[in-house]
Amino acid sequence: MTARIPQWLKEMVGKNKAALRTQRALAAQSSLDRRALHSVCVEARCPNRGECFNCGDATFMILGGICTRGCKFCAVTKQTPLPPDENEPEQVAKAVEEWGIAYAVLTSPTRDDLSDGGAEHFARVIGAIYALTPQVKTEPLVPDFCGKKESLEKVLQAGPSVLAHNIETTPALYERVRVGADYKRSLDLLAHSKKVAPHIFTKSGLMLGLGETQDQVKATLQDLRNSGVDLLTIGQYLAPSKEHHPVLRYPEPQEYKMWEEYALSIGFLGAACGPLVRSSYRAGALYKAAVLSRKLSE
């Protein structure tokens, strides 16, 4: 049975929606529109986009706005995608420079139609950003590349500061929630990243409210740590429509605080947990926390 959204969460979402009407947020959206770029903030209907746009931040969705899979939690369109836009790397780099972004997150829909899953395009975008603004840190939030290690290595060779890939939920829910994905394949991708590029932080995230138990969440977090994952995000699942997987529970804010403390206790270098936290929320700050934690441990 679908849970009713609590009033406190409605108020949090409403506050962020109001932030979309500020001058700075409108300018950010205008820049995306002018360069014909996609943002996961818009495509996935992220509840934080007002806050982030108002700060001049955004997560760029490269490789178009159409996905080749049909996950039951995601709002991104599922159809036949277009070929990669050859001008996109330059346009993203110019937008990063125009906004004065110091930390750029790049994600994409899953592109199983491409032989490398879009890895070469990720690398080209990262390279274009470094060519124009070499001081900028980058964080590619990648799909699973169908388990192709050579695709992952293409992205790592571009030199990102963080390699992110979301586990999304516990293994017991994969068949219902993550159509076409594989829990072990995602863990293997994260572990391989740490193996071949140990200096690059790894990051993953999952959602609450899909039907998971606390024991399942704990086991998933331990699996991530065993795969060498450094950074973690946990947030509330919000169903994009009635056709998507229903929200079965709305944890109170104190539960997210508990998960953040637990994550740090088992060895994560940084964790951002909260009802409206998403994969790229405060990504730059989480990266800085990891850098500090690593220095303190040396």
**Alpha-helix runs per DSSP H in the chain:** 7-18, 23-34, 40-43, 49-54, 88-99, 119-132, 149-157, 174-177, 183-196, 214-226, 253-265, 283-297
Q: What is the pLDDT of residue 14?
A: 67
- Tokens representing 293? 């934690």
Asked whether the CA dihedral 246, 166, 92, 46 is positive or negative, the reply is positive
Query: What is the percent of the chain with per-residue pLDDT over 90, rounded to a whole number?
Result: 56
Q: How far apart are CA 31 and CA 91, in angstroms?
A: 10
Q: What is the pLDDT of residue 272?
A: 94
Flag whether pLDDT at 162 surpasses 90: yes
Flag whether pLDDT at 285 surpasses 80: yes
Q: How far apart are CA 155 and CA 202, in angstroms?
A: 13
Q: How far apart are CA 194 and CA 148, in angstroms?
A: 15
Task: State the CATH class of domain 7-292.
Answer: alpha beta
Domain ranges of the chain: 7-292
Q: What confidence tier does 23 reach under pLDDT thresholds 50, 70, 90?
A: low
Q: pLDDT tens-digit profile of 56-115?
A: 456 888 998 777 666 655 656 667 778 999 999 999 999 888 887 888 999 998 898 999
Flag whether pLDDT at 208 surpasses 70: yes
Cα 46 to its chain centre, rounded Å, is: 11
Q: pLDDT tens-digit profile of 135-144?
A: 999 999 999 9
Which of left, alpha, beta for 264 (phi over 0: left; psi -120 to 50: alpha)?
Answer: alpha
Read off the pTM.
Answer: 0.86
State the CB neighbour count (10 A cutoff) for residue 10: 10
Q: How far apart are CA 134 and CA 211, in angstroms?
A: 43
- Least confident interval from 100-109, 146-155, 159-168: 100-109
Q: What is the pLDDT of residue 39?
A: 54
Flag whether pLDDT at 132 surpasses 70: yes
Nearest to 4, CA basis, from 247, 274, 245: 247
One-character DSSP codes across 200-262:
SEEEEEEEESSS--HHHHHHHHHHHHHTT--EEEEEE---SSTTSPPP-----HHHHHHHHHH
Query: What is the percent of the chain with per-residue pLDDT over 70, rounded to a whole number?
Result: 79
81-117: burial string, b at 16+ Cβ within 10 Å, e else:
beebbeebbbbbbbbbeebebebbbbbbbbbbebebb
The answer to whether 58 and 26 are in contact (CB under 8 A) is: no
